[in-house]
Amino acid sequence: MNRLHHWILTSLILAGFTLTNSGCQDAKSVAKSTAVPKAKESHDHDHPEKGPHGGELVEWGEEDYHIEVTFDHKNKQAVIYLLDSTARNAANVETDKVKVTLKISNTQPPITLLLQHDAAKSSDKGLAFIGVHDALSKEMDYEGKVNGSIGRENYSGDFKEGGHDHGSEKTKK
């Protein structure tokens, strides 16, 4: 092979390599493609098994927030606390940007409650949202789903009294 052919072949290989690796990618896609994937977490991570009020924890997003699910049977209330990623403190969010719906699936008929913020029950240990229903006077282990949104982010997670659940979802509107 003469020098000209060698130079042309080398140039084509380098040009192809450059186009393949830089192409039309933006900075975000380059950063995503070179980022080390986060290992799938086991059940051993840094938050308690129960919330600050003794309730079951539900993960929203990938540890973005936690929901603590509690019931006050005497007052026929479901009390949900919005917690931060550590599940130890109140989430730092504006409560008027939060919507929470509790769906209890193991009652007849199933119960769906749109919860309202309760400033009196809220503290540095959780932002409280409550819903009232006559069926909640019955003492039993409830199970279902806590759906909600914070701003434009939608979240969902399953709960079961007496069990710690990490099944959660996060979607954008």
**Residue 70 in contact with residue 80, Cβ under 8 Å?**
yes
What is residue 110's predicted lDDT score, i.e. its pLDDT? 96
Residues 93-133 have pLDDT tens digits of: 999 999 999 999 999 999 999 999 999 999 999 999 999 99
Domain ranges for the chain: 3-30, 56-172
Give the C-alpha distances (Å, rounded to integers) separating 106 from 83, 141, 159, 165: 25, 9, 11, 16
Angle at 51 between CA 111 and CA 63, to 5 degrees: 90
Q: Which two tokens stand for residue 110?
A: 């199933």
pTM value is 0.68
CA pair distance 126, 51, nearest whole angstrom: 9
CA pair distance 107, 57, nearest whole angstrom: 20
Round to the nearest angstrom and report the end-to-end CA distance of the chain. 60
Q: Residue 117 carries which side chain, given as an amino acid letter?
A: H
**Residue 168 in contact with residue 154, Cβ under 8 Å?**
no
CA pair distance 58, 156, nearest whole angstrom: 9
Q: Residue 103 carries which side chain, given as an amino acid letter?
A: K
Which residue has 């690796």 as its token pair? 21
Residues 53-75 have pLDDT tens digits of: 999 999 999 889 999 999 999 99
Residues 81-91 have pLDDT tens digits of: 999 999 999 99
- In the predicted structure, residue 165 carries a pLDDT above the cut 50: no
Q: Which of 31-35, 98-102, 103-107, 166-170 has the lowest mean pLDDT?
A: 31-35
| Three-state DSSP state, 86 | coil
